[in-house]
A and B are shown apart, each in its own frame.
Chain A
Amino acid sequence: MDTEKALALLRSRLYDPNYVHATFKSSEESNYCKLKFLIMNSISDSCNNSILLLGPRGSGKVAVVDLVLEDLKTQHPDSISVIRLNGLLHSDDNFALKEIARQLCLDHQLLFSKMASSDDNAGFMIDMLKECGLSHKSIIFVLDEFDLFAQGKQRLLYSLLDAMQTVSSQAVVIGVSCRLDADQLLEKRVRSRFSHRKLLFVPPSREDVRRLLEHILYLPKDIGLLSKYVAEFNSKIQYNLQDILNDKKFQEILDSILFIDGAINNLVQFLFRAVSSMSLESGLLSLENFKGSHLCYQRQPKTQILEGVSILELYILVCMNRLECKEQNSYNFNSVMKEYKAIHEAYKTSDNYRDSVCLRAFEHLLERELIGFVDNKGRNLSIEIQPVKLLISPHELYLGLKSRSSCPAILQKLFDHESFR
């Protein structure tokens, strides 16, 4: 079926970071172009360089590095050798040297010996750098989670950057980190050898977001689908998509998502949900898909749990909230019961239950983790005297009370009385 193929195509596009980030390949000011320019210059000038890519998680740093390296490999197949290290795995110097030696051996079809000591590995790395320098091959080190390499004595960073201070080696060090002050973490010797180039990955602007959406959501004409369907999809999508993209509601949805997390990754996940809910009969995207995806984002699990909680349990929660507002630092079941009785005496409600029933309700709340013990040490004490605390914020409680149509008005009044909004 054509619609299924179209759906599969859109989904595979969304989960291919190379495709997503290739949107910005053509613009001059994009980070892709800047990085490519720098690496190409280092290769053609045979000089050493180092650069740091900084940005929040999910903004596409590693994706851009991958794109650039792929392009360079097709243009200069023999002059690049790439070594990838990750700060989570290789922050220990010995492991890092071993991994570098292993990858170098792999690239140059040499035999790797697991028994080599770290001295041997270090010597091997320096020799390979010299060799590659003489034969005009550049070695590109990609250090992911760069800030984790800057822990401890920073020996690996020092030896890498020091090796780049000689004319005989030709290497580029690309550090990728989400900590914006990653270069302040470097020791002063290492920082002196590191050239202070930084590329910042900022969340895309509104126009860029629009370009991204169009790039992903338009179907190409030549994917083996019925060309009529494609034409219809695109033209309807074109009107449809433009309609959707221009629709105010859609803008609001997009805004509310981007106001929380502007990274491209987040946007892609939102689009994936929307695309997956595309109706297979009409085969076209509509605003409802996006709205549905947005609702998934706004899920408040604790408020949803409150919908299934009994009225007595709601009373208990409100009592605990009152105790907290009265600045009582620690309270237990008995104090909650006292508060409960006080309310009933004051307001003469009909929901007065015995202690044993309330205890059952209390245990229910504990199981659902809407309330919890303050510390786990008092297992020997009975439930009634262990201090407890609320695991739900007052705002969520308020929303839960509002959403319950069967909630007695008294509870709302008690709540409002706390002058909480």
Chain B
Amino acid sequence: MVPKESNPSRKRSSPGGYSESPCKAPSPGKWRSPRRCNGNRDEVRSVGENGNLSNGDLIGSPKSPRKELFRNSNQQLKWNPRDPAQMQTVKHALHVATPPAIVVCREKEQKNILEFCKSCFQQSKAGSLYVCGCPGTGKTLSIGKVKEYFLGWSKEVGVPSPDVLTINCTSLTSTSEIFSQMLVKFELSKGKATNTSPLQHLQDIFSQKKHQSGRMLLMIADEMDYLITRDHAVLHDLFMLTTLPFSRFILIGIANAIDLADRFLQKLEALNCKPVVITFRAYSKDQILKILQQRIMALGYDVFQPAALEYCARKVAATSGDIRKALDICRCAIEVLEAELKGSVTNKETEKVSFHHIETAISRSFKSPVVDIIQSLPQHQQVILCSFVRLSQHCKKNATTLAELNRSYSEICKSTQIRPVGMMDFASLCTALNDQGLLEIAQSRGDKSKKIKLKVDSSDITFALKGIRFFQNCWCDD
């Protein structure tokens, strides 16, 4: 997947009004599309400066973020959270789908990949590269940029630019389809005998010199682990294509597993053509902070308090290092701010997103709702969970049967003087807990001998119920 990015030539050529999209849209009058980032920013600036709306004519060429920063330090645009246009731009800038103008914090990796491609190109030989890393570490984005630099470089140098095929392996219906897609894209299907498979045809082409057209082929295979089959044939054959004598084919594979190459491509190691592995490590706190700041600087005004951004970066770096999560938390925090301002009538013009908003946003995304759910369950279901915990503490085993659970449940009801429900109701309560994912009832033939396991941590249950006086007696015995 290549992220769509702003295409300046297209925007500049579209006539006048930036307030409407090229297709006629049934949008209300003054509603501005937030997609035309550059035009919108200029408009917002003109509102702030002069007080009268310029009609969105482009004021000069689209600026790079650094130029805009310079320009804005003269003007000190104020962040007004009550202005819906500003809110919209901020949210848009922080959206995961919005591609940044430059990809920061991945310069080294991009350089490595670019160097690899250039060297393969210059030596006219094939090569394979494997990019791995956790989700949200910028692999697809960076490789998209590298592809563009590479195409630009080939134009500069004056060689015929390579054919590029970007394919996301989740969209393939069968794994061997990738070869037929390659044939189609690279227009190599001329002279194909009708009964050879696409793979064989490719192997034929790459082993003989006469079929070459002189162009390099660059293929980017995203989410490559979808190509893994039981006998690892497809993945293996794909990489083997780069080892054939006359292949001029650069393969870049992207996946999450670090050891994919080791596990599935051992024969390549024997042939001494293991793919080069480039690991995209999870973002550190400083890197996340830098990326967030770059996006906000492009806006031209200060939306976040610095401590808040740092807290967000620190929290995300500690858990997963996934930049999508950090962007999501920032957007969530802005929505928390928006909701807060809607309610209050204070006249403070500049309300930045503070530590407190980020904390609320983080608790919403990170906190597991288990404790809330347990606290809001009906009483008998809480007693059932309680009796399970008690049973597991006494008997030291995790699984139990319906009959034993019923016994434990009746004991607790007896001690707390509430009437226990009948067996049928008890079974349906357990089924309801099973549906919610708190218990797991194994499928078994006998009604009473089904194995039941607890899916929630018993400490969560004790924590959730400790505030309720009703259950305090239960814990006292243990």
- Residue numbers of A with Cβ under 8 A of B are 37, 41, 44-48, 54, 56-57, 78-79, 117-119, 122, 134-136, 147, 153, 155, 158-159, 162, 164-169, 178-182, 188-189, 191-193, 195-198, 200, 202-203, 258-262, 300-303, 393, 395-396, 421
Contacts and interface: CB of A to CB of B under 8 A. Distances in A.
Given A159-B171, A181-B437, A195-B328, A396 B322 contact: no
B423 A396 contact: yes
Contact of A179 (B170, B226, B325, B437): B437
A148 B96 CA distance: 26
Interface residues of B, number: 69
Nearest to B378: A262
A41 B256 CA distance: 33
B290 interface: no
Nearest to A94: B173
A203 B455 contact: no
Contact of B372 (A56, A200, A300, A421): A200
A388 to B, nearest CB: 13
A45 B91 contact: yes
Nearest to A118: B173
B432 A167 contact: no
28 contacts: A41-B91, A44-B88, A48-B95, A78-B26, A79-B26, A119-B171, A119-B173, A134-B22, A135-B25, A136-B33, A147-B437, A153-B226, A166-B1, A166-B97, A168-B4, A180-B369, A192-B322, A193-B324, A197-B332, A197-B365, A198-B369, A258-B378, A260-B429, A300-B424, A301-B424, A393-B422, A395-B422, A396-B423
A180 B97 contact: no
A179 to B, nearest CB: 4
A208 to B, nearest CB: 12
B21 A136 contact: yes
Contact of B410 (A135, A259, A395): A395
B107 interface: no
Nearest to A167: B97
Nearest to A393: B423
Contact of A57 (B24, B414, B432): B432
A151 to B, nearest CB: 14
A203 B378 contact: yes
B364 A196 contact: yes
A200 B98 CA distance: 29
Contacts of A200: 369, 372-373, 376
B135 interface: yes
Nearest to B24: A135
B136 interface: yes
Given A136-B33, A188-B135, A56 B437 contact: no
Contact of A159 (B35, B134, B170, B429): B170
Nearest to A169: B97
A284 B293 CA distance: 66
B376 A203 contact: yes
B364 A197 contact: yes
Nearest to B420: A395
Nearest to A202: B376
A168 B432 CA distance: 41
Interface in B321-366: 322, 324-325, 328, 332, 335, 339, 364-366
B97 A393 contact: no
Contacts of A46: 33-35, 92
List the 7 closest A-B pairs by CB distance, nearest first: A192-B135, A202-B376, A196-B365, A179-B437, A259-B379, A262-B378, A136-B25
B455 A181 contact: yes
A221 to B, nearest CB: 34
B92 A56 contact: no
Contacts of B435: 56-57, 178-179
B380 interface: yes
Given A78-B26, A180-B438, A260-B378, 13 more contacts: A57-B432, A135-B23, A136-B25, A136-B26, A159-B170, A162-B170, A166-B3, A188-B134, A192-B135, A203-B377, A260-B429, A395-B423, A421-B414
Interface of B: 1, 3-4, 21-27, 31, 33-35, 88, 91-92, 95-99, 134-136, 168, 170-171, 173, 223, 226, 256, 320, 322, 324-325, 328, 332, 335, 339, 364-366, 368-370, 372-373, 376-380, 406, 410, 414, 420-425, 429, 432, 435-438, 455
Contacts of B378: 203, 258-262
Contacts of A78: 26
Contacts of B21: 134-136
B97 A47 contact: yes
Chain A CB within 10 Å, residue with most, of B136, B226, B368, B422: B422
B254 to A, nearest CB: 11
Nearest to A159: B170
A300 B364 CA distance: 43
Contact of B432 (A169, A182, A188, A261): A261
B223 A167 contact: no
Contacts of A192: 135-136, 320, 322, 324-325
Nearest to B171: A122
A134 B23 contact: yes
A57 B173 CA distance: 35
A180 B436 contact: yes
Contacts of B373: 180, 200, 202
Nearest to A188: B135
Contacts of B134: 188
A395 B432 CA distance: 23
A136 B168 CA distance: 26
A84 B370 CA distance: 28
Given A181-B437, A192-B135, A260-B380, A166 B4 contact: yes
Given A260-B429, A262-B378, A167 B4 contact: yes
Contacts of A300: 422, 424
B421 to A, nearest CB: 6
B324 A260 contact: no
Given A164-B97, A181-B455, A192-B322, A45 B92 contact: yes
Contacts of A393: 406, 422-423
Contacts of A164: 97
B325 A196 contact: yes
A243 to B, nearest CB: 26
B27 A136 contact: yes
Contacts of A191: 135
Contacts of B420: 395
A228 to B, nearest CB: 42
B135 A189 contact: yes
A374 to B, nearest CB: 9
B18 to A, nearest CB: 14
B423 A260 contact: no
Contacts of A188: 134-135, 256
